[in-house]
Structure 1
Amino acid sequence: MSPIRPSADTGGEAGATPVAATPAAATPAAATRVTAAGGGRAAVVLVLVALAALIPLLGPSTALRGTGEAAAPGVGGIALLRAVLFAAVCVSAGELFAARLARRVPGAPLEDAPRSWAPVAAAAGFVAALGLASVVATGNLLPRRLSDMDIGGLYQTRDGMLALLVVNAFVVAGLCALSRRPATQVWPLAAVAVAEALRAHPATEDSPLIGSGLTLVHVTCAALWVGGLLHVLRMLRRWRATAPGEGIAVLGLYARVAALLFAAITVTGVCSTLRRMPAGSVLEQLTTTAYGRTLLAKVLLVVAVAALALCARRRLRRSSDPLTAYSPARAEVVFLGTVVALSAALTALPVPIRW
């Protein structure tokens, strides 16, 4: 019988190679730190999402307080659904926009792009659009049971047809996002933007097509601004160690386009405001109507966003470490998310009476 040789684990032969214990001991600790960091970020995101959801849920009732105006039943729920719909459009459109910018940067590691959020965004948008369609089917009220809804009636009204168009558009957008050609999402997303612009200006309004055109430009530019920045920052974070220069280049391209988007948003926003609140009474209505109060809060937040954008742009150009632009840009995304929530609340509030 051959003798059993002692192994290195039991301290056998002097010439045996010892097993290093340090990496094995360090790996669980490193994994714990990574898990803790990821869990911390997830917790922060959940808190921010919860706070953002409170704006459309509670914002309308707060803005209406003391104005003497009456809101439709379920206005908070309707505003929340529209906030989810707007956010879904921003995420999907922003990914397409950011990917297009990244393709213009030589050497950008496009194969190492962040995981797409478009399929999840399309699913969330579909659920929100389905909820809003059920509201239309119930006569612009929140349904309490299925029998309250007139599904067939959706095909007989303008609002019903637009609601169905949005539902189907999100289905198509989700399928496009999962396909080999995700860029084709642009068409169903454009259909959503057009439908929302038409819905916001009924045929009974003065010059509804002009109002719809202003809203279409406003919504499109806002979606590219908000969603584009979100995805560019995700790229920058992912490439920080492997391709920081390319990430900064993408952020620089975005900053130049964002200036034009901001200008378009400002012009269309002012024009839309003056269409609904005449110049002679706009200052008074900003404080005495729910629509005006919410609009004023939105304007103040946009001013803060502009300040953060200028700070990030200055760091991007003049700082010895352009990556320091990441912090103000990240804060800008948070503020922009709040702006989206306020915009959703605006759509559920009564429009001020012109006099």
Structure 2
Amino acid sequence: MGLIRPTDGASDEGGPARTPGAGQPGNGRPGPGSPDTGRPGTGRAVAVLVLVALAALIPLLGPSAALDGTGEASAPGVPGIALLRTVLFAALCVPVGELFVRQLAGRLPGAPPERARSWAPYATGVGFVAALGLASVVSTGNLVPHSLAAIDVGGLYESRDGKLALLEVNGFAAAGLCALSARPVMQVWPLAAVAVAEALRAHPAPELDPLTGSVLTFVHLTCAALWVGGLLYVLRTLPLWGTASEARVALLGLYARVAAVLLALITATGIWSTLRRMPADTVLEQLTSTAYGRTLLAKVIVVAAVAVLALWARLRLSRAADPLTACSPARAEVVALGLVVTVSGLLTALPVPIRWT
């Protein structure tokens, strides 16, 4: 008498029938005792919202704290401008980082084809709104408009700052359309235009050698966007590669090597820009006696913390038994980088120290 092998779905002797593939990985259906995968995702979403809300308090409350006791006067609408600038910087980082990491992943032999869903359409939409808000401020002579009637759209075409503000608005609009098109890689050009406009805006013509300052700001901003947005997209992509551990480690390692170069460029351009605005013999004094200096000092401290987290992740990647444990400090690094972006937005809204020559 031959043995009859039970087919999938048939019950074991005396046991309940089994659904084919139930409780097995990769079938999309949790089995008995499997964790509820929806709850961790919800928890992460709530955590992100809380972090965003807390980050928004920095540009809103930061100006008064930074200006306290310095004798400097706050310009009208500084908190709102700082918040809009922070949103604009963050919106620039997301699509730039996605394009960057997609290029890195494409260079890895045998890398899985899966990529994290693009957030570029949403980010560019948010950036468009932030750029519109900043353009409305420029149209009223750098004052916060209290009504739509106060916004002089035509006046934007008559000033350098107005034209640059319009370039940022149009840049985000074009980038959003490219993100939704069949060739999202074309976003790189309007996003580059936004970065150029921001670099030129930060260094008006009356400044000493504004071209050098604009080049430094462009390099600084571009490297920061690649670093922040790139790490975010790497961490979003790795879980999609499942059991392809070698490819996951390779992508994280490739990003880490490029990020080291980006950090070096950010540090060099940051120091150079600081010395252009603060004479070397007064830097230490201005770091504590001016609002700009205090905010810059806070940014330096946070960047130092980011560098420590990046080094920790790099050590885990190269020495740990499981290199993917580097993702833990990398996640903390993303949060700290978000704080850097927020402080940077505040920094651009504060009065620049006067350099006597």
**TM-score, structure 1 length as denominator?**
0.91
- The residue number in structure 2 matching 1:39 is 42
Q: Could you list the per-position Cα deviations for residues 71-105 of structure 1 after superposition, in whole angstroms to 9, with x for gaps in the alignment?
A: 11110110110111000110010000010100111
Q: Could you list the per-position Cα deviations for residues 203-235 of structure 1 after superposition, in whole angstroms to 9, with x for gaps in the alignment?
A: 010100010011001001110011111111111
- Tell me whether 1:155 sits opposite 2:157 in the alignment: yes
CA contact (8 A) 1:86 1:344 kept: yes
In 1, Cα distance between equivalents of 2:130 and 2:144: 13
The AA in structure 2 aligned to 1:62 is A
Change (3 A) 1:348 1:244: same
In 1, Cα distance between equivalents of 2:292 and 2:300: 12
Shift of 1:293: 0.3
- The residue number in structure 2 matching 1:6 is none
- Taking every aligned residue pair, what percent have the same amino acid on both sides? 69
Q: Could you list the per-position Cα deviations for residues 110-153 of structure 1 after superposition, in whole angstroms to 9, with x for gaps in the alignment?
A: 2x211000000000000000000000011111111011111110
Any residues of structure 2 matched to 1:205-284 within 5 Å, and which? 205-239=207-241, 241-284=242-285
The AA in structure 2 aligned to 1:332 is E
- Tell me whether 1:295 sits opposite 2:296 in the alignment: yes
- The residue number in structure 2 matching 1:77 is 80
Shift of 1:242: 3.3
Any residues of structure 2 matched to 1:104-183 within 5 Å, and which? 104-110=107-113, 112-183=114-185
- Tell me whether 1:87 sits opposite 2:90 in the alignment: yes
The AA in structure 1 aligned to 2:331 is R
- The residue number in structure 2 matching 1:12 is none
Counterpart pick for 1:192 among 189, 194, 202: 194
Q: Could you list the per-position Cα deviations for residues 130-180 of structure 1 after superposition, in whole angstroms to 9, with x for gaps in the alignment?
A: 000000011111111011111110000000000000000101100111111
The AA in structure 2 aligned to 1:59 is G
In 2, Cα distance between equivalents of 1:350 and 1:307: 30
The AA in structure 2 aligned to 1:165 is L
Change (3 A) 1:282 1:29: farther
In 2, Cα distance between equivalents of 1:18 and 1:271: 72
In 2, Cα distance between equivalents of 1:85 and 1:315: 33
Change (3 A) 1:140 1:30: farther
In 2, Cα distance between equivalents of 1:127 and 1:296: 30
Q: Could you list the per-position Cα deviations for residues 210-265 of structure 1 after superposition, in whole angstroms to 9, with x for gaps in the alignment?
A: 100110010011100111111111111322x2322212111100111111111110
Shift of 1:20: 4.6
Q: Secondary structure at the match of 1:281?
A: helix
In 1, Cα distance between equivalents of 2:129 and 2:148: 16
Change (3 A) 1:18 1:51: closer
Shift of 1:21: 8.4
User: Could you say what the CA RMSD is over the residues aligned between the two structures, in angstroms?
Assistant: 2.0
The AA in structure 2 aligned to 1:64 is L
Q: Secondary structure at the match of 1:92?
A: helix
- The residue number in structure 1 matching 2:321 is 320
Change (3 A) 1:43 1:18: closer
CA contact (8 A) 1:236 1:244 kept: no
Structure 2, gaps ≥5 residues long: 1-12, 24-28
Q: Secondary structure at the match of 2:354?
A: coil
The AA in structure 2 aligned to 1:287 is T
Shift of 1:18: 6.3
Change (3 A) 1:79 1:19: same
In 2, Cα distance between equivalents of 1:286 and 1:55: 18
In 2, Cα distance between equivalents of 1:234 and 1:315: 19
Structure 1, gaps ≥5 residues long: 1-14
Deviation larger for 50-59 or 121-130: 50-59
Aligned residues: 338
- The residue number in structure 1 matching 2:331 is 330
**TM-score, structure 2 length as denominator?**
0.91
Shift of 1:31: 8.8
The AA in structure 1 aligned to 2:233 is H
